[in-house]
Structure 1
Amino acid sequence: MDKNRMELNGFKWPDGDVHCRKVVFSSVIDMEPALRLTDGRAVAVQAGGNCGVWPAWLAERFERVFTFEPDQTNFDCLVQNVPENVTAYRAALGSKRGRVGMCLDTRNIGAHFIDGKGSIPVKTIDSLKLKACDYLCLDVEGYEMPALIGSVQTINEHRPVIQIEDKGLSERYGYQRGEAIDWLKMLGYRVRHRVARDVILSCAPA
């Protein structure tokens, strides 16, 4: 076993985590309502990748998965935990390229969040120039709005089913709770489901 790592349900995992490991494996079913709305199974984009539980689950259902995880410790575990059809980036998602810092919670590796300046690269989904995008899932601790702004071309071209977390954390970046949902509605989306703290939207008819 790697130093400072443990084995958890067959996944490499940071051994300091206490809280995330209790919920992340059972939470993958929160994506099932979105996938029932998703006609294509070519490409899924997911962030934050954490240690790979969600992208690994998606990899069984899509031909190709792109995932983003900015924290180095999480990312090191993620790349050991996901299959070959997952492309992983050690980066944050945002509205434009740049560099950011992070506030880390080593006892809850799912609660890290973007904070100020730093050395972590920021990518946009639009920079991937995807030929398909069937599903977009963002759980980025309040940074959903910048990530969506950086994916507007992809959204307009491919009209993926979109799942975002909405629990008020966006306020730390100056966005109101629900602002990302309203923004997507202006692009022609509507809310289809609410699962736990996630909102699922699509352009498909009822």
Structure 2
Amino acid sequence: MVKGNKIFDLFRTVLIFTSLDRYYSRLIRGKKHDSFIGKMAPNNYQYKKGTYRIARLNNNIKLSVDLHDYLGHYIYFGYKDQSQDALLKLVEENYSVLDIGTNIGNTALLFADKVKAAGRVIGFEPDPETYQLCMKNLELNSFENLKVHNIGFGDNNSSFFIESLIDSNISGNRINEKLTQGQKQVSVKRLDDVFFDFNLKKVDLVKIDVEGYEMKVLIGAKETIQKFKPTLFIEIDDNNLRDQKSSAQELLDFLEKNNYTSVEAVSNKPINSNYNFKDCHFDIISTSNC
């Protein structure tokens, strides 16, 4: 197996140095990451940090991505993302969408394309460096219905430091309330306190992907959720939630108490607070029963 891996790595290295990886990305677009052809693509760690390429989403959206970064690599090679497919099916023309945890803007741009000119998409990315990457991607496109703000959401108004866990995965950067110093300090607000600053008359969909901070976001958005009853698309990672002094069970309890029913995004399997959440990692779609 080790010998086989070395042969595969040699093939991947050849793809990079001959620039054939550009053509290979077209070949594997839409394939699963764990398929044989998907596994043969160069790994993100084989690219130097700062290896930027332009990826295209839906043929009309341009995105500058770093191939050293896990998400940038995933987007560039166009691997099938069943969870994102399920998310985009929730979006309709004229929708007002909140993207909490916008990252480099890939999902927000797809939202903006789907809601059309009459819709609104507002994104929120607390990490200042990631926010700058996101803004560059917004500049590559021309969606007037999309705005992104450099703030985070939580259960109180404060400021915290960002923790960067893995250099090659900016998606894993997260707020750490325990840190007392750091290079990146971010502003955190309760959504309920600032919602009307964004001049929205409704909210149809809220996506929340904030590396374990999801429960705090929901607590600070309780009034907004109760008033507008939007569909919620939430990442559930019990270990990340526990790192933030919460849990997946607590999050589902909150949703149920607020009259929401949840299903796993890809399988559509019902999910409730009695589920075994140990080491779980998946997305849920939650809809109001009212």
TM range (shorter): 0.7 to 0.9
TM-score normalised by length of structure 2? 0.63
**Is the 2:87–2:265 Cα contact (8 Å) retained in structure 1?**
no
Which of 180, 187, 190 is the aligned partner of 1:124? 190
Higher relative contact order (CA 8 A, sep 6+): 1
Distance (whole Å) between structure 1 residues aligned to residue 130 and residue 67 of structure 2: 11
Distance (whole Å) between structure 2 residues aligned to residue 194 and residue 8 of structure 1: 29
Q: Percent identical across equivalent pairs?
A: 24
Matched, 1:72 2:136: no
Distance (whole Å) between structure 2 residues aligned to residue 78 and residue 193 of structure 1: 28
The residue type equivalent to 2:86 in the other structure is P
1:84-163 → structure 2 map (5 Å cutoff): 84-104=144-164, 105-116=166-177, 117=180, 119-126=185-192, 127-129=194-196, 130-163=200-233
**Mind listing any 5+ residue stretches in structure 1 that lack a counterpart?**
none
TM-score normalised by length of structure 1? 0.86
> Rg: which structure is higher?
2
The corresponding residue for 1:199 is 284
C-alpha RMSD of matched pairs (Å): 2.5
The corresponding residue for 2:111 is 58
Q: Shift of residue 173 of structure 1? A: 1.1
Q: 1:163 to 1:26 in 2, by over 3 A?
A: farther
Q: 1:26 to 1:84 in 2, by over 3 A?
A: farther
Distance (whole Å) between structure 1 residues aligned to residue 65 and residue 92 of structure 2: 33
The corresponding residue for 1:177 is 248
Distance (whole Å) between structure 2 residues aligned to residue 26 and residue 96 of structure 1: 37
Q: Secondary structure at the match of 2:126?
A: coil
Distance (whole Å) between structure 1 residues aligned to residue 289 and residue 144 of structure 2: 31
The residue type equivalent to 2:167 in the other structure is T
**Mind listing any 5+ residue stretches in structure 2 that lack a counterpart?**
1-49, 56-61, 267-280
**Is the 1:164–1:200 Cα contact (8 Å) retained in structure 2?**
yes
Matched, 1:12 2:73: no
